[in-house]
Amino acid sequence: MCLTKPRARNIHSNISNEVKLQSKHNRKICSNLTLQMSLYFNSVFLPVWSIVIILFMNKNYQSYDELYRYISVTVVSTIFGVEFLRIYLGYEGNLKDKIPELAGFWMLSILLQLPLQGFLLFNPYFRMYVLEIIVQSIMFILLCIQLISGYCAIKYTASEQTAVYKLKKQKQQEKATANNTDDCLNQDKGECNVENNQ
């Protein structure tokens, strides 16, 4: 009986900035690992953030004046609604190299989530407790990481897809040129055969 020693696997060799998958069109999909990790942590941390924000908002709701009651409810409900869509678009765009989904994710992040999360974190009128500030700061930091890595992912995906498109176009032009030369050669041979028959 021959026992082979198992090979030691280098853990650090598998860590890279890109996760590579094969798509159905036999094209490598390169996902941004930083964006994917921050989206994962965001989706795991979202229930904790939701519970803390709702509990403390319920506690402080009566101390707000009429205007801030409406503003706080509107801001938090908008953040909840946008956050689910934003995380879905981020996952879909990053894992499948889809630029429209990545662009939608990035625009929702920068145009809606960043101002709303910043409003919740930096507005002194809300009189937030320490736990609220910590939880909101974590969400804000995750959002900033996603903005930076999302921009890099969009830029990289766009350049990769542009290169693939140019390569396909070049192959089509070469194929068309080869077909034209074959047609010309066939026409020349056909003319020669017609002249020989006469």
What pLDDT is recorded for position 180? 77
Domain count, the chain: 1
What's this model's pTM, rounded to 2 decimal places? Answer: 0.74
Residue 10 lies in a domain: no
Tell me whether residue 62 is in a domain: yes
In a domain, 65, yes or no: yes
Instruction: Render pLDDT for 114-167 as a digit per residue (tens, 0 to 9).
Output: 999 999 999 888 888 899 999 999 999 999 999 999 999 999 999 988 988 899
Place of tokens 């990790």: 37
> Is 195 among the domain residues?
no
What's the pLDDT at 93? 94
Q: How far apart are CA 149 and CA 145, in angstroms?
A: 6
Residue 46: closest CA among 82, 95, 80: 80
The answer to whether position 196 is within a domain reads no
Going by pLDDT thresholds of 50, 70 and 90, the confidence category of residue 84 is very high
The answer to the question of residue 140 being in a domain is yes
93-114 pLDDT, tens digit each: 999 989 999 999 999 999 999 9
Residue 194 lies in a domain: no
Q: What is the pLDDT of residues 18-72, one digit of tens each?
A: 444 444 555 666 788 999 999 999 999 999 999 999 999 888 888 888 998 999 9
Query: Over the chain, what HEC string results?
Result: CCCCCCCCCCHHHHCCCEEEEECCCCCEEEEEHHHHHHHHHHHHHHHHHHHHHHHHHHHHHHHCCHHHHHHHHHHHHHHHHHHHHHHHHHHHHHHHCCHHHHHHHHHHHHHHHHHHHHHHHHCHHHCCCHHHHHHHHHHHHHHHHHHHHHHHHHHHHHHHHHHHHHHHHHHHHHHHHHHHHHHHHHHHHHHHHHHHHC
Compute how many other C-beta atoms are within 10 angstroms of the C-beta atom of residue 106: 22
Q: Which domain holds residue 70?
A: 29-158
For residue 57, tell me if it sits in a domain. yes
